[in-house]
Amino acid sequence: MTDHPSTQPTRQEDSSHQETGSMQSPQQLPSMTGYTLWIGRSLWGVAIVLPAFLLMVYLYHMPSFLQANFQSQFFEPQSDPFLSQYLFPTLSMVRRLSLALGGWLLVAIMCWRRTDRALILWTSLAIIGISNFSVHVELLERSVFQHGWLQGVRALAAIQAWIGPSVGLGIMMVIPDGKPLSRWLRYLYPLFTILPGLYAWIWWSEHKAYKPALLGISEVMLVMCIYLFIRFQWTKEPREKLQLRWMIAANFLSAFVFVMYATLLFLPSSSDNTLIILKRCAQEGFLFIGYLSPLLTFFIILIRFRLWSFHVTVNRSLIYGALSITM
């Protein structure tokens, strides 16, 4: 009678190990040790220090950003000085800082509740890259970073604006069963790798931010959602189905809000200030939700349900990290 309560958790634990062992074979999941671990730590250190430095630069120049007359190319220009110089820059700054600081907070919580080294080394890069993307975009657009040594900051912002979201969206393409991507996706890997680098270089050298980037993001998110839905229909593992259900929901929500944002952006401008303010608030809200949904998905499936196979995430994302973004 006294042995039964102590042996029951052991049996349950053994059965859980058997279930995870059936999904994670040693041949498909090499352990993250030796050179792989040191490479991961080095990448994590560089990829964490770079956005932290850019965020400090952004906070240092924030008072001058609020005082300068600035028209972002991601929003239609406004003739009213109150809207263009005070209200709209403040709304954008609140949205950018909320996402950036919220991403750092999620990473801090994961570090505090760490369960796996890959949880800290790789998923934090995705959260930081996506949450700080809007900050890096503004650093690219500001004219103060087009002269002198601040052009180096602009170049770093262009690199991070490309690498950050590509890591995050690439991780969302990784499936925890250890299988490689399909053949047509492997053939498209050089295309998806070269185009973002060329775009980042043109973006930095010509000092432009292109509206078609929004359509590209929407298309990538929609294609990824379809791909994950197909994998959801094929898989037989309940654990993978639950994870894919969360990722499909996040991708669908992000794709929907980015499509709505692009639709509002290309609508003709109105002369009524009330409609202009409502349109801009809706755009800021869509951007906030669009970037927040994948962040919360990472956080929920890692911390609450622990549904990720971390070794698969690290090793597959090292190969396919830049596959799923064409900005």
State pLDDT tens for residues 233-252: 877 777 778 777 887 887 77
* CA 149/CA 156 separation, integer angstroms: 12
Q: With the C-alpha atoms ordered 96, 100, 103, 108, is the resulting torsion angle positive or negative?
A: negative
Question: Quick one: average pLDDT of 245-270?
Answer: 78
pLDDT band per the 50, 70, 90 thresholds, residue 183: low
* CA 150/CA 317 separation, integer angstroms: 32
Q: With the C-alpha atoms ordered 305, 307, 311, 317, is the resulting torsion angle positive or negative?
A: negative
pLDDT band per the 50, 70, 90 thresholds, residue 22: very low
Supply the pTM of this predicted model: 0.67
Residue 38 makes CB contacts below 8 A (sequence gap 6+) with: none
Q: What is the residue extent of each domain of the chain? A: 33-67+76-320
Q: Which is nearest to 260 in space by CA: 239, 241, 288, 238?
A: 288
Buried b (16+ CB within 10 A) or exposed e, 144-181: ebeeeeeeebbbbbbbbbbbbbbbbbbbbbbbbbbeeb
pLDDT at 240: 73
**Res. 203: pLDDT tops 60:** no
pLDDT band per the 50, 70, 90 thresholds, residue 158: confident
pLDDT at 9: 44
The proportion of the chain whose per-residue pLDDT surpasses 90, expressed as a percent, equals 0
Q: How far apart are the first and last CA of the chain?
A: 63
Pair 169, 225: CB distance under 8 Å = no
pLDDT at 77: 62
3-state secondary structure of 72: coil
**Res. 306: pLDDT tops 70:** no
**Res. 179: pLDDT tops 60:** no
**Res. 27: pLDDT tops 60:** no
